[in-house]
Each structure stands twice: as C-alpha cells, then as structure tokens.
Structure 1
Amino acid sequence: MVEKKNEVLEWMKALGFAVVIVFIVRSFLITPIVVEGASMNTTLHDQERMIVSKVGEPERFDIVVFHANEEQDYIKRVIGLPGDKIEYKDDTLFINGKPYDEPYLKTQKENTEGNLTNSFKLEDTAVGKSTVPEGHLFVMGDNRRFSKDSRQIGAIPIEEVIGTTNFVFYPFNDIRIIKN
C-alpha cells in the first residue's frame, strides 16, 4: 500500500512539473495559433495551425500575430517599422523612397488583373502620418484586396504583438516553413 502511495505521489509530481513547464513555454516562448480568414492568402490559408515565437523583435517582412482588439488576434506581414515612410505606387512598395521586391506576392500578382495593391501614401491611410509612429508597426495582409490591416486600422503598437510566426504544423500534409 505504501509503495502504491509513493508511486501515485511520484506521478503527481511529474504531472505537476510537466504542467509548469508547459505554462512557462506557452507564456514566454511559443504558442500555437489558428489562421482565420483569407487575409494572408496565398501565403497562409484559413484554418492552418502555426507556432508563434514570442522571442525577439519583429523585423520587416516578418509575419506577426497581434491583438487587434479585445476579442481578436490578427496575423499580418510587417511592412513598415518605426520611422519608415511607406508608399505604394503602381503595385510597387517603396520604403523611405527605395523600391522593394515582395516575392511572397508573386503568385497573386501573376493571377490578378490590374494592381494587387492600390497606390497610397502612408498619410492617406488610417495611420494619418507621413511616417510609422515610434513604438508602432505598419502591417498588411498578403491578400491585399481583402485584408483589414494598417491601411484601415492604423499602425499597430509593438506591445500588442504576440510574436512572429513562420512554421505551419497543420494540416500535416502541408507542414512548411514560410520564407519572407
């Protein structure tokens, strides 16, 4: 009977330790997320599951997950960093006056009539300023015609960013690493 009690106690300790480890990992290192909607098509698809890394600062063209409001988290691509001047002209991204290639949009551009991204200057968006404010990011979905992003909701405070993601782990037949 004493051996049985000790065995149960050891199992409870191991289970408690595992729960603490999972809590620490999910709180500070990584967490899973489900892609909802089509705003990141063709890069990501509705209902794909991804791992979000909570370590490090987001960089240009990273895919980030952030708290859009109290009920929703959004997944978008970082286009502008604090202090950047953003402009789209004739479907070309200009950051601080320099044109940038967006290889992740290649397939969509090939299959879209007209411009994928309408021309705009940062001050013409919900940001309302000529540069991305300090402590904020300018984000856009890859499905430019059907994405609610910084053009409509404004610059995203960096403290609202949960983390970056580039690893799809479900569905299993589509496991992949997303390259920026």
Structure 2
Amino acid sequence: MRKFIKEWGPFTLLITAIVLLRLFIFIPVQVDGHSMDPTLAEGDRLIMVKTAKIQRFDIVVADETEDGQTKQVVKRVIGMPGDTIAYNNDVLTVNGEEVDEAYLDAYKEKFTQDKLQSTYSYSPLFQELAAQATAFTTDADGQANFTVQVPEGQYYLLGDDRIVSKDSREVGTFAESAIAGEVKFRFWPLSSIGFIS
C-alpha cells in the first residue's frame, strides 16, 4: 500500500486538484451570438472564473431568465449596485462622472461612417436595426438619452455591440446571484488565444 501511495499519490492528487478546479473555479463557456462583437465573437470559447470579484467593465457570464427559460449570456458590467447610469448621445456618465468606453470606439466610428451597414452585411436584420438607430447606445425605446438607477444588489449589464445586444435595457438588471463569474481567458480560436482584459 505504501508503495502504491508513493508511486500514485502525487498523480492522484494532481488529477483530483484539476477536477476540483474544473468543477468549482475554472468553467469553460462559449459565446453564443453577436452581442459582444467585436470584443468577443460568436463561437469563441472562454474560461470563466467563478470566484472573481465583480468590478465595473468586467465581462461576466450571467443567468438570464425569460419566459421561464434560463440561459447563460456573456455581457459587460456597466452599472454596479446603487449606481446612476446615464447615456447622452453615446457618452456614458456614472454617478455624474463621464466615463470613457474605449472598447466601443471601433464600432462607434463605423456607426458614424455608414451606420454599420458594411459591418452588418451578413445580417439584413442587423442592418435594419442600425439604420433605425439614433445612436450606437440607445434604450429599449430607441432613445439616445436615458438614465437608469441600478438597485442595490443588482448589476446593469450591456453587450459591446449595443445595436444588436439584448441586455439590461430589455431584460432588466441582474442580481448578484445571477452572475456566474468573470470571463478571464479565451482559448479558442487559437488565433485569438489570450487573457481578456
């Protein structure tokens, strides 16, 4: 028995540690849809960390429930509990302070150029949504100027592709218990492998 433990003990511990990490801390997830373009693409495979502390602008995986069905979505944290979030023609203010969303710059520029018509050439529906939009970020009613008070214990989540993303603007805020974890690493496709900042 001692010989077995000596020979197989470290290997068994390693396998156990890997299984436990996989079950309870590092969870693989896949991006479904275009709501996080161009930051994350449909089909990207990611590693989510369950124990991460949530901060503004983190990309998280959350449980979204609609019509009794629950699915996991990948979105960005814009509003923290108790925040007052406002958009005024694509300018974000948080608690009265203007905040830059540099990760939106590429698509906001394309929206200014041709309302994303060439970017959305793969989807007539997306082209129609963009053509009707008055700004890159609007509320569920299409208003370019809107304010949201985030309740305590809730988070306001938006996709990076604001034209096509279904997020807190439509489904409401997300409870802390609905956030499964933070996206930390992309492992597929290999051409885009790396940490998510």
Range of TM-score over shorter length: 0.7 to 0.9
Q: CA deviation at 1:166?
A: 3.3
For 1:99, the equivalent position in structure 2 comes to 98
* Equivalent AA in structure 1 for residue 162 of structure 2: R
For 2:45, the equivalent position in structure 1 comes to 49
For 1:125, the equivalent position in structure 2 comes to none
Q: CA deviation at 1:86?
A: 0.7
Bigger Cα displacement from structure 2, 110-119 vs 146-155: 110-119
Percent identity at matched positions? 37
Matched, 1:121 2:141: no
For 1:170, the equivalent position in structure 2 comes to 188
Q: CA deviation at 1:26?
A: 2.2
Segments of structure 2 that go 5 or more residues without pairing to the other structure are: 116-133, 139-143
Q: Please, what TM-score do these two structures have when normalized by structure 2?
A: 0.75
For 1:110, the equivalent position in structure 2 comes to 109
Q: Distance in 2 between matches of 1:36 and 1:56?
A: 22
Q: CA deviation at 1:174?
A: 1.4
For 2:158, the equivalent position in structure 1 comes to 140
Aligned runs of 1:1-180 on 2, under 5 Å? 17=13, 20-69=16-65, 71-112=70-111, 113=115, 115-118=135-138, 119=144, 120-122=146-148, 131-179=149-197
* Equivalent AA in structure 2 for residue 22 of structure 1: I
Q: Distance in 2 between matches of 1:23 and 1:134?
A: 35
* Equivalent AA in structure 1 for residue 147 of structure 2: K
Q: Distance in 1 between matches of 2:37 and 2:96?
A: 27
Q: CA deviation at 1:44?
A: 0.3
Q: CA deviation at 1:34?
A: 0.6
Q: Distance in 1 between matches of 2:25 and 2:184?
A: 14
